[in-house]
Amino acid sequence: MSDIGFVRTEMLPEQDPPASEVGIIGWARHNLFSSWFNSILTIASFTAVYFVLAAIVPWILSPTWDGTSLSNCRETLAAAGHGDAHGACWGVIKERWVQLIFGFYPSHLYWRPVAAFVLLGAALAPVLFSDRVPSKMLIFSALYPFIFPWLLWGGTIWMPIAALAGFVIGGLVYKFAAEALSTLLGVILGVAAALVWWMLLAAPVSGALDSILPIGIEAVESRKFGGFMLSVTIGVVAIACSLPIGIVLALGRQSDLLIVKYICVGFIEFIRGVPLITLLFVASTLLNIFMPPGTNFDIILRVLIMVTLFASAYMAEVIRGGLAALPRGQYEGADSLGLNYWQAQRLIIMPQALKISIPGIVSTFIGVFKDTTLVSIIGLLDPLGLSNAIRADANWNGIVWELYGFIALLFFVFCFSMSRYSMYLERKLQTGHR
Amino acid sequence: MSELMTDRQIDRSKMQVSDEVAIEISNMNKWYGSFHVLRDINLTVNQGERIVIAGPSGSGKSTLIRCLNALEEHQQGRIEVDGTVLSNDLKNIDKIRSEVGMVFQHFNLFPHLSILENCTLAPIWVRKTPKKEAEERAMHFLEKVKIPEQADKYPGQLSGGQQQRVAIARSLCMMPRIMLFDEPTSALDPEMIKEVLDTMIELAEEGMTMLCVTHEMGFARQVANRVIFMDAGQIVEQNEPEEFFNNPKSERTKLFLSQILGH
């Protein structure tokens, strides 16, 4: 029998890893040169990146910020020793960036969209960063939807107050009807009261109040809206409205009530089956045919409604995916504790379903935001529409890349922020399950 | 697993069955589509009873107790729980559910809420208990199931046995008069089964009315006052545990017992 007995008499001390495993050398060995094939790929990639940058960087770094026209830019480039057209003509951006952002909004009123979007940040903060911003700020977030259109479109201050009053009236009717009759009747009566107020009474009442006490700011017509401001306005409204509508549609689609279910299914499938451009054309032309003659239904409002409906249908399907991913046990757990349908949805189901759907929801948001450029097709002057208008100027005829590049940068900043925020949110909501 | 995996003495002083009826099921039938899952179930449970429901898988035992709090709908017959008749009326259903606690095989804790929030959610929203009081009560029950130190963690950070004890505490926070257990230990590792069974024994010692679907025959023998054997959607045999295990009457019961106790 061989001797297999072994006893360690001395424990081994810890040693530093070899130099080829740590630090920059170790990192490069692992990530860039782990085999001969990967080494070739690394070198080829670096070469490709070099050529791309070598072409783009000098173009971007062209000294044409003071150019007054395309030909003037070319002269500057030639004088500076750049190749003939090898350099951007940034003069157009310097001259027209204000227009690209504000469209034809009256320049002495630029403070209003600026204020609207600064306040938008303040209104979003308690929603987006609920753990860092005091929750009392939510009161401002709730009021913001009434401040936002008033700042942009102007007019009498009584209009947003009348709109807000509709919610108060609806709420009060619900409260009394729910106590006196039943919850369902309360909801129906409350909604009906608010609708009657908005449709029939809000405009005359605010008009009357305005004639008694005229407080207001200068009104700006919708056709003066344009540029990136228009894109953000449409994008923000569509995003903010599509999420709640999408949730309701997704729940409706799963409902046991057949009529509710089929209305939701029909709506979602119809909207998803039709291109957004078609809906926008309907909004810009066909809708007028169905309206009583003389009705002035604001074009931006029509577009907002169409884009919101379009986004809601997609949102509903994304959220349905989240609902489907929840185990049945979550519903049963909530049921077994005696939570009613809405409590279970609000406290148990939706927080989890929405969390699962965050990547899909944010993708839809980003898609909607970028789709707002389609409004240029029906004649609204979003940044793309404006870029055509700018090119129609004899000075800038022939400019392409600079304008599109600038517009792309604006969109990228917004879309990339949304994407990063969604990743932050996913990390924050991670509670260690799965 | 014929022996109960606990070494503690069981205190039977409070395990008393009263005359008050807790649950009454009469002529109950249930179908899944055209499949007849529960056939003519008649069962009366008194306050303070500890009933173990056993049977092969697919025999309808889980379906039976899930009918008691309307997680499943029955098509025929009458179910009365704690004086309330189960009907389609949502108010009745919510009332019964808030009086009847249920513990599931897969715990069904809410993973996005902390342990404490899991326990306070229903008392706050259903019972309208003030938050502070709900939290105090939750801590009381978490101490009872011996995991108060985990209150701020999330379910995903706990072991299976701990999660199941939280699930029991969560049900108890609603102060139920009846507890339903649907295979509470079937998804657990052997050493975790003991901690969950200990918690259940403690509940039984305090006089809780319990209906328990389980394969833990040791628990049935030592804690239950009645064992019900189901097969093919019917109650085949019921008896006191002593008689049930030592002297089964039906052939089907004998076969079942020989299979689960035979090794």
Structure token digits, residue B163: 């999660």
DSSP bridge partners of B26: B78
A178 & A199 share domain = yes
Of A303, A313, A428, which Cα lies nearest the Cα of A364? A313
- The answer, yes or no, to whether residue B2 has pLDDT greater than 50, is no
Amino acid at A384: L
What's the Cα-to-Cα distance from B37 to each of B33, B109, B250, rounded to whole Å?
10, 28, 21
The reply to whether residue A347 touches residue B111, judged by beta carbons under 8 angstroms, is no
Q: How far apart are the first and last CA of chain A?
A: 51
**Looking at the complex, does the CB of residue A257 fall below 8 Å from at least one CB of chain B?**
no
Residues A325-372: tens digit of each pLDDT = 999 999 999 999 988 888 999 999 999 999 999 999 999 999 999 999
Angle at A170 between CA A167 and CA A174, to 5 degrees: 135
Domain assignment of residue A278, yes or no = no
Q: Residue A256's pLDDT is what? A: 85
Instruction: Encode B101-120: b = buried (16+ Cβ within 10 Å), e = exposed.
Output: bbbbbbbbbbbbbbbbbbbb
End position of a domain, from candidates A60, A75, A90: A60
Compute CA B39 distance to the chain's CA centroid, rounded to the nearest angstrom.
Answer: 21
Domain assignment of residue A299, yes or no = no
- Residues of chain A by 3-state class (helix, strand, coil), percent to 5: 75, 0, 25
Domain assignment of residue A10, yes or no = no
Structure token digits, residue A324: 């489907």
Structure token digits, residue A419: 């994407």
What H or E segment, with its residue span, contains residue A151? helix A138-153
- Would you call B50 helix, strand, or coil by DSSP? strand
A134 & A173 share domain = no
End position of a domain, from candidates A128, A154, A180: A154
Domain assignment of residue A304, yes or no = no
Residues A371-421: tens digit of each pLDDT = 999 988 888 888 888 888 888 888 888 888 888 999 999 999 999 999 999
A150 & A160 share domain = no
A120 & A170 share domain = no
Report the alpha-carbon distance of residue A246 to residue A318 in Å, rounded.
9
A146 & A183 share domain = no
- The answer, yes or no, to whether residue A177 has pLDDT greater than 60, is yes
The reply to whether residue A343 touches residue B111, judged by beta carbons under 8 angstroms, is no
Domain assignment of residue A133, yes or no = yes
- Would you call A240 helix, strand, or coil by DSSP? helix
The reply to whether residue B154 touches residue A332, judged by beta carbons under 8 angstroms, is no
Q: Give the best residue of A257, A335, A336, A429 to mutate against chain B (max B CB count within 10 A).
A: A336
Report the alpha-carbon distance of residue B9 to residue A189 in Å, rounded.
62
Structure token digits, residue A136: 């009392």
Predicted TM-score (pTM) of this structure: 0.84
Nearest residue in chain B measured CA to CA from A433: B156
Query: How much of chain A, in percent, has pLDDT values that exceed 70?
Result: 97
Number of domains into which chain A is organized: 3
**Beta-carbon pairs below 8 A across chains A and B:** 76
Residues A24-47: tens digit of each pLDDT = 888 888 888 888 999 999 999 999
Domain assignment of residue A247, yes or no = no
Per DSSP, A380 falls in state: -
Window 292-331 of A: residues touching B by CB (8 A cutoff) are 327, 329-330
Cβ-Cβ contacts under 8 Å, A337 against chain B: 97-98, 121-122, 126, 170-171, 174
Q: How confident is the model at residue A290 (pLDDT cuts 50, 70, 90)?
A: confident
Report the alpha-carbon distance of residue B203 to residue A202 in Å, rounded.
61
Domain assignment of residue A266, yes or no = no
Q: Are strands B76-81 and A216-217 parallel, antiparallel or unpaired?
A: unpaired
**Interface TM-score (ipTM) > 0.95:** no
Domain assignment of residue A171, yes or no = yes
Residue A38's domain comprises 20-60
